[in-house]
Amino acid sequence: MKKFIAAAAMLALASAPALAAPPPPVFNWSGFYAGGNIGSGLEQGQPGLPPNFISFSPGPSLPTTTSYHGNGIVGGAQAGYNWQFTNWVVGLEADLGASDARSTLGFLFPAGVIFTSLAGTTELRTDFFGTARGRIGYATGNLLFYGTGGFAWVHEKFTTSGTTFVFASPIGTFASSDSQWIGGWTAGGGVDYAFAPNWFVRLEYLHVGLGSHNFAIAPAVTGASTVPVTSRFDIVRVGLNYKFGY
């Protein structure tokens, strides 16, 4: 009887590993990857107010806001390289994207000539951007939680158009346009999820700070040849990446 019990116990111990469920696979994050992304971008800007400022507004009715605030779709591509040390992952990543975020403000200024005024609109548009960032994260199972930060470049376009009035009667029109690449910083974070041996999806947020920069305008609009704008850009996006190798 004792021999039978001992034999049964040995058999149970020998078969236990075979019956136990295998542990979930752990994704190897080390290596080069590339992919695409799509999401939403929020452009915000604060124009400088010249001495002869009367009013900015979101339309011809005049009064409520002096800030640009526009949403748009963003999309682009990214590539990077990770190094994994047990559960910790560090990496470098660069991305390029496009956006259709834009917003407008109406304005009214005295033209410097008695009984003469200028009225019209300005538009701030964010159309292209890129970043170069470092990343550091913690991997658990097939998930990677990370923070990221680095340099950013954004291409903004500032346009002005309007009408000159004398005694409230229109006598002519004016327009100007200026665009430039602006350097700044970016910081954010996200989570990657590996769903196949070489594929992972991503949810990411980035804040881009651009500080104050000057745009050229029609000199008659404010009495000056430039207007300062302080702007920033916020991005929420999802991505799909392919990691090369294993």
* Cα 176 to Cα 160: distance, rounded to the nearest angstrom: 5
- Residue 43: how many CB atoms within 10 A of its CB? 24
Average pLDDT over residues 89-108: 92
* Cα 7 to Cα 20: distance, rounded to the nearest angstrom: 20
Domain of 142 in residue numbering reads as: 2-243
What domain count does the chain have? 1
The radius of gyration of the chain's CA atoms, rounded to the nearest angstrom, is 28
Read off the pLDDT of residues 36-82 as tens digits, 9 standing for 90 and up: 999 999 999 988 765 445 445 444 444 345 788 999 999 999 999 99
Read off the pLDDT of residues 100-140 as tens digits, 9 standing for 90 and up: 999 988 777 665 556 677 778 889 999 999 999 999 999 99
CATH number at residue 232: 2.40.160.20
Read off the pLDDT of residues 142-153 as tens digits, 9 standing for 90 and up: 999 999 999 999
Global model pTM greater than 0.85: no
Tokens of 229: 């704008």
pLDDT confidence bin for 26, thresholds 50/70/90: confident
CB 87 within 8 A of CB 140: yes
Paired residues of 122 in beta bridges: 105, 160
